[in-house]
Amino acid sequence: MTITQPELPPLQPSVAKPAPPAIPMKYLVFALIVIAALFVLQQAAAMFAKLHTAKTQALAAQSVPPPAPVAPLPVQNIAPTTPVATDVTASAPEQPESYERSYGSQLVLNGVTVTNGQKMALINNGIYQIGDEIMGKTIVNINLDGVELMDGDQKIILKTR
Q: How far apart are CA 145 and CA 82, in angstroms?
A: 12
Q: With respect to residue 101, please indicate whether it lies within any of the assigned structural domains.
A: yes
pTM of the full predicted structure? 0.38
For the chain, give the DSSP string.
----PPPPPPP----PPPPPPPPPHHHHHHHHHHHHHHHHHHHHHHHHHHHHHHHHHHHHHHHSPPPPPP-PPPP---B-B-----------TTS-HHHHHHHTT---EEEEEEETTEEEEEETTEEE-TT-EETTEEEEEEETTEEEEEETTEEEEEEB-
Listed as ranges, residues in the chain with pLDDT below 70 are 1, 12-16, 60-66, 71-105, 161
In a shared domain, residues 148 and 102: yes
CATH of the domain at 134: 2.30.30
Q: With respect to residue 90, please indicate whether it lies within any of the assigned structural domains.
A: no
Q: With respect to residue 12, please indicate whether it lies within any of the assigned structural domains.
A: no
Q: Give residue 92's pLDDT.
A: 45
Q: With respect to residue 46, please indicate whether it lies within any of the assigned structural domains.
A: yes
Q: With respect to residue 16, please indicate whether it lies within any of the assigned structural domains.
A: no
In a shared domain, residues 59 and 101: no
Q: Give residue 84's pLDDT.
A: 56
Give the residue from 63, 78, 112 where a domain finishes. Answer: 63
Q: Give residue 100's pLDDT.
A: 44
Q: How far apart are the first and last CA of the chain?
A: 144
In a shared domain, residues 106 and 150: yes
Q: With respect to residue 6, please indicate whether it lies within any of the assigned structural domains.
A: no
The amino acid occupying position 40 is: V
Count of domains for the chain: 2
Q: With respect to residue 13, please indicate whether it lies within any of the assigned structural domains.
A: no
Q: Give residue 140's pLDDT.
A: 95
Q: How far apart are CA 110 and CA 91, in angstroms?
A: 18
Q: Give residue 52's domain range.
A: 24-63
What percent of the chain shows pLDDT beyond 70?
68
Q: With respect to residue 138, please indicate whether it lies within any of the assigned structural domains.
A: yes
Sign of the C-alpha dihedral computed for residues 136, 142, 145 and 148 taken in this order:
negative
